[in-house]
Structure 1
Amino acid sequence: MKLLNEAYFQIENYRFYPERYLINDGSQDIKLEPKQSKILLLLALNSGRIITRDEIEKEVWQGRIISEQAVNNKISELRKVFKDNYRDPRYLKTHSQLGYELIASTSFVESIATGTNSESILQARTLKRSNRFVLVFSLLVLVLILFTGYIYFAKEVSQPPRIKFSLVPTTTEKGQEYGLNVREDGKYIAYSHRPLNAKNWRIKVKDMTTSKWRYVSPKSIDSKSPVWFGNSDTIFYVQNINNSCSIWQAKQVWANTLHEKITDCGDIASMSPLSIGPNNKWLYFSNFKNNKYELNRLNLNNYQIEKITTPPNTSIGDYASYISPNGRYLGFLRAISFARVDLNILELATGEITTLASEPHTLFAISWNNLSSELLYIDRDNFLVSQNIYTKEVKKLSNLHQKSIYPYRDKQNNTYIVEGGFFVSDIKTSDLSKIKFNYLISSSYQDYDPVPISNDKLLFTSRRSGIPQIWIKEKFDEQQLTQFEENSTLQDKLFNQEENSLLIVRNNKIIEYDLVNDQFRQITPDDWLVESLVANCKSGKPLFTAQNNGTWDLYELSEQLIKIEHDVYKFSADCNQEQYYGQKLSDLSLINIDLANKKVTPLELGLFDSIEWQIYSGELYYLSDTELLKRDLNNNKDKVIYTFSEDNKVHSFKISNNLIYINAKETMEMKIKQLNFNE
């Protein structure tokens, strides 16, 4: 008798052959990777039950340290195989903060062939999901084969032992939580909170022992970034009113609270953290002045303000400062561009600034260990890490399963994070003449930055396959173009005229991707920072803005890099009228650039400070808070053409062929959790 390994799972209309890493949809075979197959086998063996991320990591990655995106990547790839929609799933359902479930009708068919090569008898029986014992017994040999195959095909080097940890909820409210600060004695916590559909954040305080809580700030005022004043019942916090920032003091936070304005912190809303140094002498904060964030400190004895940093003109500014427990160092973040943030420390006695790390993604906060020797932050791969400020050595403390953005260490050496992101992003579109947005591209992860090629073809960036990749959508088909192996920030992208090569702004560098030969090459020098990338309306030659030798200028990419115009940070082309426009970083003013005659004409716009704008057919479109506006360049009059809801934020848009595309960002739950390391 000969045993043939042809057993399979029937998942709705699909047949899954785990021992061959294969799925058949009735018309074709679809080859799976070993990890994809092992995850699907685990879900099929437990169909109808939620499988946690920990279970998947244990079975598939054997306990090795992996990034948050590794599991997301494989689940997304399996969804694509099943042509499944995460919003209305038929096969794979995501249970937020719990895990994944195979919800499709699933049965196991065991096929056994006996006899000689010319004689066989097929005996099949269907095992229902309720009969798990028989199913598992029948598949023991298959699991062994699958695991052996996985080890053979993976051939991966051993990884450091996994650091075990658990996350315990600190707060239980629905909505978004952010900007936590624990009192020095560990008794109370203060933080910002808002419901998902609310505009304003409010300050809450909570007793860590009794769970008693109270709102400190009113519902009508946007309030963020609380910090305790020693072990008193006083906090300092930030108020944002009419797009201006001020710092306030709240005394007696548990009853009859008295609020007093202390100082201003700029003419733009802020959520940058506050910190108070040893002996409660100095309050450190970020101040928006002259279109740039700088760091200040306030003497809490006489309310005198000192300027601490002067960020270079080529940067956006400094924010998220945090004073070390010994008061010697100030850790802070410097936004070099919208796609690069430097982690710096300032030695207050000497004024010397040292850069510890450069991250191609947005950092929101940092924290110190209690010895003032290490800074904590969450890196590009969603690892909580600590970095020694003297040796610059980086230690990975934990691989956070869910997107996390705000690390914090209190005086009792407890570690906290904010789990969750501010939003999930989808791409919507509408006819420009009559605004009514509809979903164009969506997944369970971030889809953003659409670049229209034609009415039925566009490029976009997505995290659905783990880390940011460039995708292309043609009618109803979506295909991943790039296979980047490291997390990075992807900005503008541009096809050449033959559409066989793609220019991409990746980590502020222009790279060229040869789609035919699957090869990359870097175009701009390592010490250049690139922002905008646009095609010339006539020649199709790439035009881009870059920082070189301390200034942002406009260049043309030809046989050489040719400088065209000085002091241009962002750049846009209105090809309907063959006009070009730029924005200066110094004062955010807009200019018209005549490329043929090399002439620059300032646009007389009056008050204008938006960085999300486009001039299309001679009219200026721009975003301001929750509104999309159109400005007549002849009389400088604005018209609101669409108002977005508070829980559906829009931060960027593109207009092409009388269609407008937006990144629709829907708010999501954010929770404060304590991270406990298990021995």
Structure 2
Amino acid sequence: MRVVVILFDTNVSQVKFADWTLCTRSCSLISEITTQELTPLSYKILCYFILNPNRIISRDEFVSSVWANHYVDDNAINKAISDLRRLLKATNDSPNLIKTHYKKGYSFICEVEYVYEDSTPLGEYSIDATSQATNEINISTTVNETRSLNSSTQSSQFLLGYKEKPSSLFSLKYFILIIVFLIAGGGATYWWQTQPKVLNLQSKKLSISDNSVYSMLSLSPSNDKLAVSKLNPKNNVDEIFLIDLETHKNTKIISEELDSYPIGWASNSSSIYYQIINNEQNICEIWRADFRVNNEVAAKEKVFDCESQYILSLVTDELSNRIIYTKFGYRNVPSLSALVARDLETGEEFQVTSPNIDSYGDRYVALSPKKDKVVFIRSKVGLRQIFVANLDGSMQELLYETPESIRRVSWSSDANNLTWYVSNSKKLSTLDISSKQVETKSLKADSYINFMLAGFNSLYGATRTSDNDIYEYDLKSASQEKLVDSRAAEFMPIAVKEGFYFFQEGEPMKLFSYFNKELVQDEISIDLPTFGSGDYYESSGLIALSYNKELRLIDPIKKKVIDKFTVQNQIVDLAWFNKENLLLVLESKQSEQHVWMFNLETEELQKIIHQNARSIARTDDDKILYQDFYNNFYLFDPQEGVQKFLLSLSENPYIRWKLHGQELYYSTGSSLLKYSLETLQETTLINNFNTIEKTIANFSVSEKLGEEKLIVQIQSFRNNEVILLNVIQ
């Protein structure tokens, strides 16, 4: 299969430079004397040069952007550059367009001119083209680089051959277009944007069953149908129901022997795509169901077999007879997903996005009402990013990033706005795509809303299907005791000497302590909306908490925050090393996650592990145990600067772990096990949770008088409802 990655806007048909014309449709180079088709690699390198002219591109940048961080040696890079240089040197009189900078990299010394479908040069599009060039000159760079490009309008205009063309007629025409746009856009805003800052919502039940679990809501592009998965309590299999949003009629449309979930729609809402999945039987299939007028299924067809342990997301590109979906297993990491376009006739696929390995990838995609753009969510540890791109992946733009958890994004009917709901903070946010301005509304509802979708004129949601509670698990008796019984979620248990702490959601969040069989709510004000990681240091009695780039040190005895810090990069994980230093896993500009030592007195950072890490812990003998992106574990000696491989848990996509003494405890969600660093033996402590009913979300290890006990955060599932939300005054 030949994979060609198009890096330009789909309206760009040619790029002219020196004596050459690059045809983006055929991936060929044309001069007065020759026409030659480029290999996919040569084409991609040339595109990257064109998008980054007159600047030095390092080898590392090529590896990251062109080879997508796959290992490539210097000989391969040299050969690829030489091959492209040879193609561009068709005659002896041709200038050398690719310059080598000793020990620095390469640069493309040439001015470029973009030609659009209507054969108008870029310079004729004085305002529109500038916006495109400014925002999209380099789709493969990191977030920080994208920001710097967005603030460098004049330099970007110069590099792309931008020319000012004053014209009173053009100015008048553009002014009229602006007025028309503002008038048209003013009537297309979401209805809730005109409401007060706090929305009081009243729910109306749309689902018919009182004894089931609803999940995976999917709104049709026409906004007249809502597909939901519903758990059949008789066989514990998820089925798909269709809710007519005019009549509120519930119709069962898909009932298979295995779980089925709606994952996407045909753009005309006449068909739905769904996934049949069973991890135990290693089954993953994508099907399409076509509807009759009465919303009953007329026909079903299997589209293809997929390889995923996760539920996918999908949109359709009918003009090209393609689907674009979230494909897991990217770079051989089971939990890492990228957007891939698949030809429905030939089955051929090409990659649309290239997430870095430090992330969980692109987890959700939605098609614009104009059918020319997709929005997708990139998920990282403690960070969500919203991108927009053309259907082929070109012209990618980072619109917004936040440490809050975003699960779905919805388009407005005019494709000018995006909206999403954050369940933790109970906020509904709307982003203006052109201005990048975000407006947020706080929600007060008569029920716990776990999931919300914004339609063009309505809000739809599902009440909470799960609850996180803290249990104390006795290993000797294999019994568990629930400590708090509330509808609010409890999370992040932190074991301390002879007891433990945990947190409860709310405004503000609450800190609980459990000592001597007594549960106490501690009054403490923490100025963070939630936490990404936390650790307790026994010698000082302090708890360190992180959120985004923020650090807080808490004294639970004195019930106060005693210190605050802000670092420059995202904090992925933390652990105490000693009284003066914290170990931090920080995400860098190159999307690497290395381990740093942070001194609490001087606030200085020192990198100590140059390998990628997800999480860390300190051993009793002052070594560092860390987990890499592939769930491999290593033991690093900071004194000697050497490390050794410990064990691999790469077959498990989901891992939570804690180090207690010489024992590594880890959870797979359904089980909890213990691995001895001394004997290298593994012991199962909790086995085979029925993950349909509950799963191990987090845990900690407590010890009193030499007796170990587990403090387990268990996520349990319960019946819920699908609802329509109305604003009340």
TM-score by length of 1: 0.66
Pairing 1:361-380 to 2, within 5 Å after superposition: 361-379=404-422
Q: Distance in 2 between matches of 1:199 and 1:435?
A: 26
> How many Å separate the matches in 2 of 1:344 and 1:294?
13
Equivalent position to 2:286, from 232, 240, 247 = 247
Aligned with residue 261 of structure 2, among 218, 224, 244: 224
Given the alignment of the two structures, is residue 169 of structure 1 paired with residue 213 of structure 2, yes or no? Answer: no
Whether 1:283 aligns to 2:323 is yes
Cα gap change, 1:564 to 1:234, in 2 (>3 Å): same
One-letter amino acid of the structure 2 residue matched with residue 235 of structure 1: I
Partner of 1:399: 443
Report if the CA contact (8 A) 2:365-2:377 is conserved. Answer: yes
CA shift for structure 1 position 388: 0.9
2:238 paired residue number? 201
Report the alpha carbon displacement of residue 479 of structure 1 after superposing the two structures with TM: 3.4
Structure 2 residue corresponding to 1:648, chosen from 684, 689, 694: 694
Alignment of 1:150-549 (within 5 A): 160=196, 166-174=202-210, 175-183=212-220, 188-194=225-231, 200-208=237-245, 209=247, 211-218=249-256, 220-230=257-267, 234-242=271-279, 245-251=284-290, 254=296, 258-264=300-306, 266-270=307-311, 272-277=312-317, 281-288=321-328, 289-290=330-331, 291=333, 292-337=336-381, 339-348=382-391, 351-379=394-422, 381-396=425-440, 399-401=443-445, 402-410=447-455, 413-456=456-499, 458-463=500-505, 465-475=506-516, 476-480=518-522, 482-485=524-527, 487-495=529-537, 497-499=539-541, 501-513=542-554, 518=560, 521-526=563-568, 528-536=569-577, 541-549=581-589
Contact 1:194 1:202 in 2 (8 A): yes
In the TM superposition, 1:77-92 aligns within 5 A as: none
Contact 1:345–1:355 (Cα < 8 Å) also in 2? yes
Distance 1:221 1:389 in 2: 40
Conserved 8 A contact 1:572-1:614: no
* Offset, 1:203: 1.8
Decide whether the 8 Å contact of 2:201 with 2:443 is kept in 1.
no
Structure 1 residue aligned with 2:715, among 661, 665, 670? Answer: 665
1:624 offset after TM fit, Å?
A: 2.6
Q: Structure 1: 5+ residue runs without aligned partners? A: 1-158
CA deviations on 1:337-379 (whole Å, 9 max, x unpaired) are 1x22122222447823333333323221111111001111013
Alpha-carbon separation, structure 2, partners of 1:387 and 1:472: 40
**Cα 1:415/1:648, change in 2 over 3 Å:** same
Quote the Cα distance in structure 2 between the aligned partners of 1:397 and 1:517.
32
Moved more, 316-325 or 202-211: 202-211
Name the SS for the 2:483 alignment partner: strand
Amino acid aligned to 1:374? N
TM-aligned CA deviation for residue 381 of structure 1: 2.5
Aligned equivalents of 2:572 and 2:198: distance in 1? Answer: 38
- How far residue 541 of structure 1 moved from its aligned partner, in angstroms, is 4.4
- CA deviations 1:532-561 (Å, max 9, x no partner) are 32233x778432322234321222333432
For 1:336, the aligned partner's letter is K
Tell me, in whole angstroms, the C-alpha distance in 2 between the residues paired with 1:468 and 1:336.
24
Q: Give, in angstroms, the shift of residue 251 of structure 1.
A: 4.7
Decide whether the 8 Å contact of 1:170 with 1:673 is kept in 2: yes
Aligned to 1:260, what secondary structure does the other structure show? strand
**C-alpha spacing 1:669/1:416, structure 2 compared with 1 (3 Å):** farther
Distance 2:680 2:514 in 1: 39
Measured in 1, the distance between the counterparts of 2:666 and 2:540 equals: 32
Change (3 A) 1:409 1:523: closer
Shift of 1:324: 0.8
1:600 corresponds to which of 619, 643, 660: 643
Q: Distance in 2 between matches of 1:628 and 1:517?
A: 32
Quote how far apart the aligned CAs of 1:259 are. 4.4
Counterpart secondary structure, 1:505? strand
Amino acid at match of 1:668: R
Instruction: Write the deviation string for residues 91-127 of structure 1: whole angstroms up to 9, x where unpaired.
Output: xxxxxxxxxxxxxxxxxxxxxxxxxxxxxxxxxxxxx
Partners of 1:601 and 1:197 in 2: how far apart? Answer: 50
**Once the 2 structures are TM-superposed, how far is the Cα of residue 486 of structure 1 from its aligned partner?**
5.5
Q: After TM superposition, list the pairs within 5 Å mapping 1:562-601 onto structure 2.
A: 562-573=606-617, 575=619, 580-585=624-629, 587-601=630-644
Give the corresponding residue for 2:134: none
Read off the aligned partner of 2:349 and give its amino acid letter: I
> Which amino acid in 2 is paired with 1:509?
E
Aligned to 2:725: 675
2:535/2:576 contact within 8 Å kept: no
Q: Contact 1:273 / 1:365 at 8 angstroms: preserved in 2?
A: no
- Residue segments in structure 2 that go unaligned for 5+ positions in a row: 1-194
Q: Residue 597 of structure 1: SS of its match in structure 2? A: coil
- Matched residues in 1 for 2:234 and 2:564: separation? 43
Alpha-carbon spacing, 1:547–1:522, altered in 2? closer, same or farther (3 Å):
farther
Measure the CA separation in 2 of the matches of 1:250 and 1:524.
Answer: 51
2:435 aligned counterpart, secondary structure: coil
In 2, Cα distance between equivalents of 1:226 and 1:471: 39
Instruction: Check whether the contact 1:191–1:226 (CA below 8 A) recurs between aligned residues.
Output: no
Structure 1 residues 413-444: Cα deviation after superposition (integer angstroms, max 9, x where no partner):
34232232341111112233443221234443
Q: Secondary structure at the match of 1:352?
A: coil
Considering only aligned residues, what root-mean-square deviation do their CA atoms show, in Å? 3.5
> What displacement does 1:210 show?
7.1
TM-aligned CA distance change 1:608 to 1:237, over 3 Å? same
Q: Name the aligned partner's letter for residue 214 of structure 1.
A: K
CA distance in 2, matches of 1:624, 1:517: 34
The one-letter code of the counterpart of 1:598 is G
Aligned amino acid, residue 404 of structure 1: I
Q: Secondary structure at the match of 2:449?
A: coil
Superposed displacement of residue 257, structure 1: 5.4
Separation of aligned partners in 2, 1:478 and 1:472 = 5
Q: Counterpart of 1:311 in structure 2: which amino acid?
A: P
Shift of 1:649: 1.8
Q: 1:592 to 1:171 in 2, by over 3 A?
A: same
Give the drift of 1:198: 7.2
Equivalent-residue separation in structure 1 for 2:555 and 2:477 (angstroms)? 39
Cα deviation for residue 478 of structure 1 reads 1.8
Normalising by structure 2, report the TM-score.
Answer: 0.62
